[in-house]
Structure 1
Amino acid sequence: MHEIIRSILSSSVYDVAVETPLEKMGPLSDKLSRPVFLKREDLQPVFSFKLRGAYNKLAALTEAERQKGVICASAGNHAQGLAYCATRMGTRAVIVMPTTTPSIKVEAVKRLGGEVVIKGDSFDDARIHALALCEKENLTFVHPYDDPQVIAGQGTIGVEILRQHGGPIAAIYLPIGGGGLAAGVAAYAKFLRPDIKLIGVEPEDAASMKAALAAGRPVPLNEVGIFADGVAVKQAGAHTFDILKDTLDDIVTVSTDEICAAIKDVFEHTRAIAEPAGAVSLAGLRKHAPTLDARGAAIAICSGANINFDRLRHVAERAELGERAEAVLAVTIPEKPGAYRAFIRLMGARAITEFNYRIALGSSANIFVGIGLKRGEAEKAEIIAMLRDHGHKVLDLSDNEVAKLHIRYMVGGRVEGLENELLYRFEFPERPGALLRFLEGLAPDWNISLFHYRNHGSDYGRVLTGVQVPPDERDAFEAYLDTLGYAHWDESENPAYSMFLAPA
């Protein structure tokens, strides 16, 4: 431990790294009734803390070792950090990446001066090949987390935190993958400020350090989730475990939805977009800080911002569920004209965030509905009780992964024998009552047969609806739509509709 602290204090990481700010998160501080701060490691030159450990390791090598070069296996931030640092030091850096690595990350490593080798279908395949190359070409292997010099480099984050915040600190929340960052910060903070609670945070589906602490030694997980890929590690490091078993005060796990909610918090405070691994510690803070007894600040580390753009859709979709601002329910309603309208009336002024429905030729129909919440779980329980009191069967899907990932997009299909269906696309004003106004104006024999809506945060909502209108009333229906004033388009001849949804 003393060697780690000595290495932290003598580190030369600032040859490449910058001292990142510790920013107060005002709205979250108000919500949690204590100061909340975010350590902005996403502002490093490679948008991640990883260059600290990589540079500290390189600086500890002999000149002869640096001349021969270094190697690592990584598809993420460690690859970019090592490539950047090696280039600055004039050292060859070989980065072995699996074939599944997104091209954006491969190109980033090349731009930073890394020599990329693509090998294997998994990280383990890449690691095995990297170790073989290491021996064959007499290179130095730079481990992403389980190396004393790497741990010490990451520990410089702890030095900055304690220097930047001189007031009381109740807890520091540490993201854990293999444990390099957590071990470095924990070693320094526990030695200097033993009064501060050090809380490790891991994804629920990649909790390798929690498993190690329970077993008394690092143990492999059978599988890990990859949403927070930067901390998706199957087995905690031996060095990191030895430090964290004596320094962590607690360890908490967070769900994908809770990580997405934390990404949203980071964005709303900084207008920056954290990667999932980068928001893990803030997700843990949001979950655990209300249980703290001690006065003082709660601090989380935004460890990185290397997120693929195409993941943002998933993050936005799940954020409100993570902050318990939305309930997702399956509700059974009578399959008869007016039932849909009655359901919307029953919901009153509550915000409907999503509505998926397809007519069923029977006595009842199932609808998939999202409802905005202002009071979290308590309000959701009240809504479910109210719906059941009015005779509806209700199934809470808010924590159902299959429903949230897949079923919500699959509600619908062809209906045998359905007559006179028209398909219209609308842009509804995104305000309370807009949907009810549409429904209230429908003639009694114009039956809603399909409805799909999802709130996307715009000032208008995109709606797709099927309506059964007899041929001799279609002029009247068009006239009603013109009177309504909502932008609309007739999609009844759309080939996608004809192929997948139109009545057989």
Structure 2
Amino acid sequence: MQPIAPEADLSEHQLLRQTLSARVYDVARETALEPATLLSARLGQPVLLKREDQQPVFSFKLRGAYNRMASLDAGQRARGVIAASAGNHAQGVALAAARLGIRAVIVMPVTAPQVKVDAVRRFGGAQVEVVLAGDSYSDAQAAAARLQAEHGYTFVHPFDDPAVIAGQATVAMEILRQHPGPLHAIFVPVGGGGLLAGVAGYVKALRPEVKVIGVQTADSDAMAQSLDAGEPVNLAEVGLFSDGTAVKRVGDLTFALCQRHVDAMVRVDTDAICAAIRDVFQDTRSVPEPAGAMALAGLKQYVATHGAQQAPMVAVVSGANLNFDRLRFVAERAEVGEQREAVFAVTIPEERGSFRRFCTALDQRSITEFNYRIGNAAEAHIFVGVQTSRRDERETLIEALHAHGFGVLDLTDDELAKLHLRHMIGGRSPLAKDELLYRFEFPERPGALTRFLGHMHPDWNISLFHYRNQGADYGRILVGIQVPTDERALFQAFLQTLGYPYRDESENPAYRLLLRE
């Protein structure tokens, strides 16, 4: 890659100067800062949403991309630009290329949501060529580097560039202008760190009393780990649910700025993000993408930990490029993320009156899901979802069920149970000898499942297989494989060559209770 910037660092004075002179408003608009009335009432905390989902490309990324490309000299414009992106940065580059008349090659991972790929082609028109390569942003970046070396394109970095950071910092400039009164904190979603670096640097230069807090998913927390380590770190794998922030390594420049200016980092999980997507919808009737709701999920977690504050808190709703089919998954997980559903495996005697006693123990609470199949003459194992109003209500429910003589396994935080086993209750088999249970993730692309099966040893029998299309950009499967004890080492070697993230679930307590003979 060519150098990202003439400076090795970006001082507060330089960032302010570049932000105030940024050319973002040729294409971007000043987005609303509006109250989340319903959520504020529920939390007892004033919450404001910075609506970057209202941009022409439905994402803040347009700001930095256009500001960088508008600064190119005549020679750079003539040679054209290249960018690597999971989607939103690509859309910003595409629109900027069309407006500025610059040819752009945009490399996107094969796993990029189709809605983003289609939007890049629509915004860029004849000025843009889309190249699909690899399964992650890092793969796309490597492919872009090869093309840049071959053709002499100027690389438009999605985050680690002063002009890009200054463009993103205009989000903070608008927030402080739109709300000149007291603010407790601004919550910002983080991938490579361009938005967080810009917002934090600008806010701390003008309003140092306002906290700036970055939010990441627990499985894509490169910035949080880097700040803990005191230097940028490389993640071996990143979660794919929030594709807009799935970055294995943050930028050197963004790291330096965040290290100086960011007050704290918050990690959130998938369920919390799904609940935050619903919160935004309920207050605005718009649907953000997972990265777009991440900051609000972090805000809610912060309030739960530190309590409500008198001054408002701001969450940056960074984007709304969501595949429609993913809404099925979001709706299913939002209840747990909002701590409004507890999920249990309950063992009851296989006798008359047991179900009545079970319902009595629930004390009129609504059952959100109930799965049952007879297992043997003595016991029945039930998968049940129960509506709750707060997280500590789970303990009350467990105590009540124990008091009625029922065995209880709390599955509310068990990913295997929530994704797969809830659909497979009653699947014991005396024939599943030497069974190992594994979860795999693979990109939703043609041939991925065939590749997985093609690598299997012909003597290993698949005794359980569960796949459900969640409308996401990656597929998840649960596989039971019968592997004799003396072939376990060969099986481990197979896992290493497969190339997919995996997890051994053979000792998972829910699996052993509900599916294991």
TM more than 0.5: yes
What is the rounded CA distance, in whole Å, between the counterparts of 1:104 and 1:115 in structure 2? 16
CA deviations over 1:190-249 (Å, ceiling 9, x no partner): 100001011111101111011111111101012111111111111111110100101111
Q: Quote how far apart the aligned CAs of 1:415 are.
A: 9.2
Matched residue, 1:380: 394
Matched residue, 1:309: 324
- Retained in 2: the 8 A contact 1:278–1:304? yes
Q: Does 1:330 align with 2:336?
A: no
Matched residue, 1:69: 80
Q: Does 1:117 align with 2:131?
A: yes
Q: Quote how far apart the aligned CAs of 1:121 are.
A: 4.4
RMSD: 1.6
What is the rounded CA distance, in whole Å, between the counterparts of 2:53 and 2:213 in structure 1? 20
Q: Does 1:128 align with 2:142?
A: yes
Higher-Rg member (1/2): 1
CA deviations over 1:30-84 (Å, ceiling 9, x no partner): 2222310000000100100000000010111112212221111123111111101
What is the rounded CA distance, in whole Å, between the counterparts of 2:405 and 2:204 in structure 1? 57
Gapped regions of structure 1 (runs ≥ 5): 417-504
What is the rounded CA distance, in whole Å, between the counterparts of 1:364 and 1:119 in structure 2? 52
- Retained in 1: the 8 A contact 2:38–2:282? no
Q: Does 1:408 align with 2:422?
A: yes
**Which of residues 298, 305, 314 in structure 2 aligns to 1:284?**
298
Q: Quote how far apart the aligned CAs of 1:413 are.
A: 4.6
Q: Does 1:94 align with 2:105?
A: yes
Matched residue, 2:363: 348
Give 1:91-490 correspondences, 5 Å limit: 91-113=102-124, 114-290=128-304, 291=306, 295-374=310-389, 376-413=390-427
What is the rounded CA distance, in whole Å, between the counterparts of 2:84 and 2:429 in structure 1? 52
What is the rounded CA distance, in whole Å, between the counterparts of 2:113 and 2:394 in structure 1? 39
The one-letter code matched in structure 2 to 1:312 is L
- Retained in 2: the 8 A contact 1:72–1:95? yes
Matched residue, 1:45: 56
Helix, strand or coil at the partner of 2:159 = coil
Helix, strand or coil at the partner of 2:322 = coil
Percent identity over the alignment is 56
What is the rounded CA distance, in whole Å, between the counterparts of 1:56 and 1:140 in structure 2? 14
Helix, strand or coil at the partner of 2:371 = strand
Count of aligned pairs:
415
Q: Quote how far apart the aligned CAs of 1:85 are.
A: 1.1
- Retained in 2: the 8 A contact 1:359–1:415? no
- Retained in 2: the 8 A contact 1:330–1:394? yes
What is the rounded CA distance, in whole Å, between the counterparts of 1:136 and 1:128 in structure 2? 13
- Retained in 2: the 8 A contact 1:289–1:298? no
Gapped regions of structure 2 (runs ≥ 5): 1-10, 431-517
Q: Quote how far apart the aligned CAs of 1:26 are.
A: 1.1
- Retained in 1: the 8 A contact 2:348–2:380? yes
Q: Quote how far apart the aligned CAs of 1:377 are.
A: 2.0
Q: Quote how far apart the aligned CAs of 1:358 are.
A: 0.6
Which region of structure 1 is more displaced relative to structure 2, 127-136 or 362-371? 127-136
Matched residue, 1:477: none
CA deviations over 1:259-305 (Å, ceiling 9, x no partner): 11100100000111110000110000001034168631100000000
Q: Does 1:81 align with 2:95?
A: no
Matched residue, 1:420: none
- Retained in 2: the 8 A contact 1:170–1:292? no
The one-letter code matched in structure 2 to 1:88 is R
What is the rounded CA distance, in whole Å, between the counterparts of 2:133 and 2:237 in structure 1? 21
Matched residue, 1:478: none
Helix, strand or coil at the partner of 2:241 = coil
Which region of structure 1 is more displaced relative to structure 2, 389-398 or 329-338? 329-338
What is the rounded CA distance, in whole Å, between the counterparts of 2:369 and 2:234 in structure 1? 40
Which region of structure 1 is more displaced relative to structure 2, 205-214 or 99-108? 99-108
